[in-house]
C-alpha cells in the first residue's frame, strides 16, 4: 500500500513528467503544422525543435520523463486492487500503454539512427519513407494522435476541479482540436510536396544519400533492437499484470479483511483496500461525489463494529470529518483502509452505483461552483407533531413541502433536500452567484408568506401560527448529483452549506425569520443600511462570518432593482 504523502509526491512527479511530454508533443505537432507552409518551413522548424530537445538537458528531460512516466504508470497499474474503472479512465490507461508500442521504432529509426550512424533524420527522409510505406505514415499519425489525446485527457483530469477551468475549457478544447488538425494538414501538404519531388529522376537517391541513409546491416540491427525493445515492454506490462494478480491472490488467501454492510452482506477483500474500494469491488452502491478524493464526505460510513482496531484517520480525513461535526464512529469510506474485519453503515443512501457516481463526476461532481445556499426549518414543529396522528403529519408535511418547493422554484432555485421539516435549496447553479443570492432572498420572502398561508389553512390544528427560520449564505461548494438511478437530485457539499445551516440555527437565538451572510447580501446588492450587523464564530473556521439579521423580509430592498 502506498502511503498518502508518498502517493502525493508520486502524483506530483507523474504530473511534472507528463507536462514535459505534453510540451514535447505540442512542439512536435506545431512542427508538423509548418508543413502547411511547405517542406522547407517544416525543416526549418525541425532545426529549432532539435535545438530544444536534442541538447543534453532537453534529451535528458524528454527520455527521463518518458521512462519515469511509464514506470509510474506500470506502478499505478500494479497498485490497482481491481481493474474496474470508469470508461474514460480505462481509455486513458490503454492509450498510455499503446504509446510505447508505436513510439519505439520511431525513436530508434530517427534519434538513435542519427546518434549511432550519423543519419540525418530530416522530414524529407521520413517523408520519402512514408511515401513508399503508407502504413508507416498511418502508424506515425496514429502515434501522435494517441499521444496527444492521452496528454489532453490527463490535463483534463488534472485541471477539472480548478475553479477557472469550466470557463477556460472551451478555449482549451479548441486548442486541443486545432493543433492536431493543423499538424495532420501540414503532414499531408508535405507529403504532397514529396509526391512531386520523388517523380524527378534521381531525386530520391540523392536525398537519401544526403541523409546518410542506412545500409542493409545497420537497418537490420536497428530493426532487431526495435523488436527487442517491444518484447521487453510487453514483458514489463505482462509481469506487472502477473505480479498484481499474484499479489491479489496472496492477499485474498492470507491477508484479507471482511467488510459487513447493512443487511448482513459480508465482502472479503484484500487488506489495503479502502472501504469505498471494497464497495466498488463488490458492486455495492456507495455515493462518492468527489471520486474518492476525501473532499466531499458523501462516502462517509458509520463504523458499528471493529472501530477500536482501525488505523486512526489521517490529519486530512480528520479535518474533513471535523468540518461536518461527524461523531467519532464516522469515517470517510474512501480514506479508511481497514486492518481488521469491520461492519459499516453508509450514512448517505445507497443506490448510486459506483460507476454512476464516477460518470456523474464528468458532468457535475467535483465542480466547485460559487452558489447561494438556503436552509429553512419550521420552529417548534416537533411539539406540534407530537400531538398529531402520523397520517395528519404526513398530510401536513406534504402540503408544507409542496408550498416550499413552489416558492423556491418560482424564485429560480432548486429545492433539493427535505429532512424532517427542514428544507435546503440551491440558487445560482446556472445563473451565477449574484442572481442566485437575489433569488434566494426572494425565495425566503415567498417561503415565509407560504408558511403564513399554511398557518391560516391549518389554524384549527395549530396552537399558534407556524414560524420559520431561514439562513442564506453564498460561497464555493462542490455541486453534484446524488440519489438513486430513478431519483437523482442536485445537491451541494462543503463549508458554504454548513455555514448556511448554522445561520438558520441562529435565527432562533436572534428571534428573527431570516439571517443572511454579508457575502450573500453583497452579491444580491441588498440594501443593508437598516439591518443589524453581527459577526459570528463558526466552528472550524478561523475567521468570523459577518451576518445581517432580517426581521421583516417584506422590507428588503435591492440596489439596481
Ligand atoms: S468520496 Fe470520500 S470524501 Fe468524497
d(CA 489, CA 300): 19
On the question of pLDDT at 355 being above 60, the answer is: no
d(CA 230, CA 98): 11
- Mean pLDDT along residues 260-270: 85
Cα 510 to Cα 383, 469, 470, 506, 534: the distances in Å are: 21, 10, 12, 6, 10
Single out the residue of 545, 488, 498, 541 nearest to residue 520, CA to CA.
545
- With 0.85 as the threshold, say if the pTM is over it: no
- Mean pLDDT along residues 205-227: 92
d(CA 461, CA 224): 91
The set of protein residues with a Cβ atom below 6 angstroms from ligand 1 is: 288-290, 292-299, 332, 334
Instruction: Tell me the average pLDDT of the chain.
Output: 85
Residue 281: what pLDDT? 80
Provide the b/e sequence for 448-459 (b: ≥16 CB within 10 Å).
Answer: bebbeebeeebe
Ligand 1 atom nearest 295 alpha carbon = 3
Q: Is 104 helix (H, G, I), strand (E, B) or coil?
A: helix
d(CA 301, CA 334): 10
C-alpha cell at 381: 414543529
What band does 332 get if pLDDT is binned at 50, 70 and 90?
A: very high
Distance 81 CA to ligand 1 centre (A): 18
Distance 97 CA to ligand 1 centre (A): 28
Which of 273, 316, 332, 344 for a ligand 1 pocket mutation test, highest count of atoms within 8 Å of Cβ? 332
Residue 356: what pLDDT? 40
Cα 524 to Cα 411, 415, 495, 521: the distances in Å are: 14, 19, 20, 5
Residue identifier of the C-alpha nearest atom 3 of ligand 1: 294
Ligand 1 atom nearest 300 alpha carbon = 2
Residue 323: what pLDDT? 66
Ligand 1 atom nearest 332 alpha carbon = 2
d(CA 171, CA 86): 26
Distance 300 CA to ligand 1 centre (A): 7
d(CA 252, CA 256): 5
What band does 532 get if pLDDT is binned at 50, 70 and 90?
A: very high
Distance 116 CA to ligand 1 centre (A): 52
> What are 462-478's pLDDT values in tens digits?
778 889 999 999 998 88
Show Cβ contacts of residue 486 under 8 Å, excluding neighbours closer than 6 positions.
none
Ligand 1 atom nearest 297 alpha carbon = 3
Distance 15 CA to ligand 1 centre (A): 22
**The Cα angle at residue 458 between residues 456 and 464, in degrees rounded to 5:** 75
Q: Is 208 exposed, middle or buried (0-12, 13-18, 19+ CB in 10 A)?
A: middle
Distance 13 CA to ligand 1 centre (A): 24
- DSSP assignment of 466-493: --EEEEEEEEEEEEEEEEETTEEEEEEE
Beta strands per DSSP E along 29-160: none
Residue 361: what pLDDT? 36
Distance 561 CA to ligand 1 centre (A): 41
Residue 346: what pLDDT? 82
- DSSP assignment of 210-249: HTT---HHHHHHHHHHHHHHHHHHHHHHHHHHHHHHHHHH
Task: Please tell me which residue, 381 or 257, carries the higher pLDDT value.
Answer: 257
Amino acid at each position: 500500500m502506498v502511503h498518502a504523502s508518498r502517493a502525493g509526491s508520486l502524483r506530483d512527479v507523474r504530473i511534472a513528467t507528463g507536462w514535459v511530454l505534453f510540451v514535447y508533443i505540442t512542439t512536435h505537432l506545431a512542427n508538423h503544422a509548418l508543413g502547411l507552409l511547405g517542406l522547407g518551413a517544416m525543416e526549418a522548424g525541425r532545426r529549432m525543435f532539435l535545438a530544444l530537445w536534442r541538447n543534453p538537458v532537453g534529451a535528458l528531460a524528454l527520455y527521463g520523463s518518458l521512462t519515469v512516466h511509464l514506470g509510474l504508470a506500470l506502478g499505478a497499474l500494479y497498485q490497482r486492487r481491481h481493474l474496474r474503472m470508469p470508461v474514460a479512465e480505462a481509455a486513458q490507461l490503454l492509450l498510455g500503454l499503446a504509446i510505447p508500442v508505436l513510439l519505439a521504432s520511431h525513436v530508434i529509426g530517427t534519434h538513435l539512427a542519427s546518434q549511432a550512424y550519423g543519419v540525418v533524420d530530416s522530414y524529407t527522409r521520413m517523408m520519402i519513407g512514408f511515401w513508399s510505406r503508407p502504413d508507416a505514415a498511418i502508424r506515425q499519425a496514429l502515434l501522435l494522435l494517441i499521444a496527444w489525446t492521452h496528454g489532453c485527457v490527463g490535463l483534463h483530469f488534472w485541471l477539472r476541479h480548478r475553479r477557472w477551468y469550466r470557463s477556460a475549457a472551451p478555449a482549451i478544447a479548441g486548442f486541443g482540436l486545432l493543433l492536431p488538425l493543423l499538424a495532420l494538414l501540414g503532414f499531408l501538404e508535405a507529403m504532397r510536396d514529396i509526391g512531386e519531388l520523388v517523380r524527378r529522376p534521381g531525386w530520391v537517391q540523392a536525398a537519401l544519400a544526403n541523409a546518410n541513409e542506412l545500409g542493409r546491416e545497420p537497418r537490420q540491427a536497428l530493426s532487431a533492437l526495435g523488436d527487442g525493445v517491444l518484447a521487453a515492454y510487453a514483458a514489463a506490462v505482462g509481469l506487472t499484470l502477473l505480479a498484481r494478480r499474484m499479489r491479489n491472490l496472496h492477499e485474498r488467501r492470507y491477508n484479507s479483511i471482511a467488510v459487513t454492510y447493512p443487511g448482513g452482506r459480508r465482502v472479503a477483500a484484500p487488506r489495503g483496500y479502502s472501504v469505498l474500494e471494497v464497495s466498488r469491488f463488490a458492486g455495492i452502491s456507495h455515493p462518492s461525489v468527489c471520486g474518492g478524493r476525501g473532499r466531499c464526505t458523501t462516502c462517509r460510513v458509520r463504523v458499528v463494529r471493529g472501530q477500536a482496531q482501525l488505523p486512526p484517520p489521517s490529519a486530512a480525513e480528520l479535518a474533513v470529518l471535523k468540518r461536518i461535526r461527524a461523531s467519532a464512529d464516522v469515517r470517510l469510506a474512501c480514506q479508511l483502509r481497514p486492518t481488521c474485519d469491520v461492519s459499516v453503515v453508509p450514512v448517505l443512501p445507497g443506490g448510486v452505483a459506483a460507476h454512476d457516481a464516477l460518470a456523474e463526476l464528468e458532468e457535475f461532481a467535483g465542480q466547485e461552483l460559487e452558489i447561494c445556499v438556503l436552509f429553512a426549518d419550521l420552529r417548534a414543529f416537533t411539539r406540534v407533531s407530537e400531538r398529531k396522528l402520523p397520517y395528519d403529519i404526513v398530510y401536513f408535511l406534504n402540503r408544507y413541502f409542496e408550498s416550499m418547493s413552489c416558492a423556491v422554484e418560482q424564485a429560480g432555485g432548486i429545492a433539493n433536500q427535505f429532512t424532517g421539516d427542514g428544507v435546503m435549496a440551491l440558487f445560482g447553479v446556472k445563473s451565477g452567484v449574484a442572481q442566485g443570492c437575489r433569488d434566494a432572498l426572494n425565495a425566503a420572502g415567498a417561503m415565509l408568506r407560504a408558511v403564513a398561508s399554511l398557518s391560516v389553512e391549518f389554524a384549527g390544528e395549530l396552537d399558534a401560527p407556524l414560524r420559520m427560520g431561514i439562513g442564506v449564505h453564498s460561497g464555493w461548494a462542490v455541486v453534484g448529483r446524488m440519489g438513486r438511478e430513478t431519483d437523482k437530485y442536485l445537491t451541494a457539499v462543503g463549508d458554504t452549506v454548513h455555514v448556511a445551516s448554522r445561520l438558520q440555527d441562529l435565527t432562533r437565538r436572534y428571534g428573527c425569520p431570516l439571517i443572511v451572510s454579508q457575502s450573500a447580501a453583497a452579491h444580491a446588492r441588498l440594501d443593508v443600511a437598516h439591518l443589524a450587523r453581527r459577526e459570528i464564530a463558526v466552528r472550524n473556521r478561523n475567521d468570523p462570518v459577518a451576518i445581517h439579521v432580517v426581521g421583516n423580509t417584506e422590507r428588503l430592498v435591492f440596489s439596481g432593482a
